[in-house]
Amino acid sequence: MIQLKKGVYWVGAVDWDIKNFHGYVTHRGTTYNSYLLVADKIALVDTVKAHFFETMLRHIKEIVDPSEIDYIISNHGEPDHSGSLTKIAGMAPNAKIIASERGKNILTKYYGDLDITTIKEQPTLDLGGKTLTFVPIPMAHWPDSMVSYVAEDKLLLSNDAFGQHLASAARFNDEVDQDVLMHEAATYYANILMPLCRSVDRAIKALEGVEIDMIAPSHGVIWRKNLGIILEAYKKWVAGETTEKVVIAYDTMWESTKKLAYALAEGVGSEGVPVKVYNLTVSHRSDVIADILEAKAVLIGSPTLNNHVFPTVAGFLAYMRGLKPMNKIGAAFGSYGWAGGAKKFVEEQMKLAGIDVLESDIDVSYKPTEDEWQKAFNYGKMIAQKVKEG
């Protein structure tokens, strides 16, 4: 039994196995956190993915009989949090389900007609000793998203916000490796919340002035110590702050584009600027995008295949375009045989992703000559200098 605060329990599930969360590679698995609040009345806040229902139920039964649950709060209708809602509601016949207006629509679409009270009808909920206030945070992550705040405990049940895909036997932020934790928090933000930064910013502002000493998200560990670390990180990410760093993502057919990528990396490195190089056949797009989150510059290379871009690069560009990284400069490079095409396509897609694309003539036929290798090195050096200029 895991108690966060007196009468507030974690009753979620750890998913050690999941390695692909709707297209995002979750190397370290995840958790689906649901919380049971026990006061004069009993409320369950969020549920778990459908096939973890039994786990959640076992955790609830350690504390109360499920039939005693008075309220089921759905902060967000995405199935990782609502997948067990109908089953637990079936075991708690007197429970009133509460969701946002849009949450009601989403839950109805997924699960059919349910008797749902909206937060417009009930913006707060007094459990007798614990008062929940529901704060909508639309588009952080879906239109229905909201958080539940428990004033007496200064506890924010933040749903997707401040989450991490991190399976762990530990439940609290001070119990896990801090580098791993912040890496997973950043990766989660980059792959899920980055394109919604304005909504996340609004959500953070909506919580300004609210006394919070614990943030319990619906994925990963609960922030109970040093909350400033994650709050400051979110402020930095929503503002699109960058560091002196260059990310190079490429693919290759006969190692010509690879040679250019490596020459560019050497050029960047020669200026003392950190650089990461990703081959898109062996690197997952969600890892690359995590590194791009705070990078100042992004260089993307593709060989021309059948007068067009290489498929792995096309896939990455589509992913990046949807995630809209902020405040980046970038450039395209590549190689071709008898006719080009890839570089132009890459440049267009980078522009559509919101990247400030610089002119580049790093586009070589067949195989880079020594001069062309040197040109790529010098181009990398120039990018690094621009990154240092800020």
- Binding string, residues 149-188; x marks residues near ligand FEO by CB under 6 A: -----------x----------------------------
- Separation between Cα atoms, residue 131 and residue 147, nearest integer Å: 13
Task: Decide: is 271 part of the binding site for ligand FEO (CB under 6 A).
Answer: no
Task: Decide: is 360 part of the binding site for ligand FEO (CB under 6 A).
Answer: no
CA separation, residue 307 to residues 96, 261, 302, 303, 319 (Å): 59, 20, 11, 9, 22
Residue number with CB closer to ligand FEO (142 or 345) = 142
Task: Decide: is 144 part of the binding site for ligand FEO (CB under 6 A).
Answer: no
Inter-residue contact 320 to 346 (CB < 8 Å)? no
Residue number with CB closer to ligand FEO (82 or 312) = 82
Count the residues of the shown chain that bind ligand FEO, applying the rule CB under 6 A.
Answer: 9
**Shortest distance, CB of residue 137 to ligand FEO, whole angstroms?**
11
Stretch that binds ligand FEO, among 56-64, 73-81, 176-184, 270-278 (CB under 6 A): 73-81
Bridge partners (DSSP) listed for residue 216:
157
Site for ligand FEO in 217-246 (CB under 6 A): 218-219
Strands 295-303 and 275-279: unpaired
* 389: number of Cβ within 10 Å: 8
φ, ψ dihedrals at 267, nearest 5°: -65, -45
Residue number with CB closer to ligand FEO (18 or 64) = 18
Instruction: Identify which of 193, 223, 159 has the alpha carbon closest to the alpha carbon of residue 4.
Output: 223
- Separation between Cα atoms, residue 382 and residue 390, nearest integer Å: 13
Residue number with CB closer to ligand FEO (76 or 259) = 76
Q: Which of 15, 46, 80, 372 binds ligand FEO (CB under 6 A)?
A: 80
For residue 189, give the DSSP letter.
I
**Shortest distance, CB of residue 133 to ligand FEO, whole angstroms?**
21
**Shortest distance, CB of residue 199 to ligand FEO, whole angstroms?**
12
- Separation between Cα atoms, residue 219 and residue 168, nearest integer Å: 11
Instruction: Identify which of 353, 305, 364, 362 has the alpha carbon closest to the alpha carbon of residue 329.
Output: 353
Task: Decide: is 15 part of the binding site for ligand FEO (CB under 6 A).
Answer: no
Q: Is 218 helix (H, G, I), strand (E, B) or coil?
A: coil
Residue number with CB closer to ligand FEO (171 or 245) = 171
Task: Decide: is 335 part of the binding site for ligand FEO (CB under 6 A).
Answer: no
**Shortest distance, CB of residue 77 to ligand FEO, whole angstroms?**
9
**Shortest distance, CB of residue 76 to ligand FEO, whole angstroms?**
5
φ, ψ dihedrals at 247, nearest 5°: -115, 130
Residue number with CB closer to ligand FEO (141 or 245) = 141
For residue 172, give the DSSP letter.
B
For residue 213, give the DSSP letter.
S
Token pair 């250019």 is found at 260
Q: Which of 76, 165, 284, 375 binds ligand FEO (CB under 6 A)?
A: 76
Q: Which of 130, 141, 375, 381 binds ligand FEO (CB under 6 A)?
A: 141
φ, ψ dihedrals at 173, nearest 5°: -65, -30
Which residues are tagged catalytic?
A: 22, 76, 78, 80, 141, 160, 188, 219
**Shortest distance, CB of residue 90 to ligand FEO, whole angstroms?**
22
Chain centroid, CA 287 distance in Å: 11
Q: Which of 81, 96, 171, 375 binds ligand FEO (CB under 6 A)?
A: 81
Stretch that binds ligand FEO, among 56-64, 74-82, 93-101, 198-206 (CB under 6 A): 74-82
Stretch that binds ligand FEO, among 4-12, 75-83, 115-123, 333-341 (CB under 6 A): 75-83
- Name every residue whose Cβ is closer than 8 Å to that of residue 66 and which is 6 or more positions away in sequence: 57, 60, 88, 91, 92
Inter-residue contact 49 to 80 (CB < 8 Å)? yes
For 4-18, give the DSSP string.
EETTEEE--EEESS-
Residue number with CB closer to ligand FEO (86 or 256) = 86
Q: Residue numbers of the site for ligand FEO (CB under 6 A)?
A: 76, 78, 80-81, 141-142, 160, 218-219
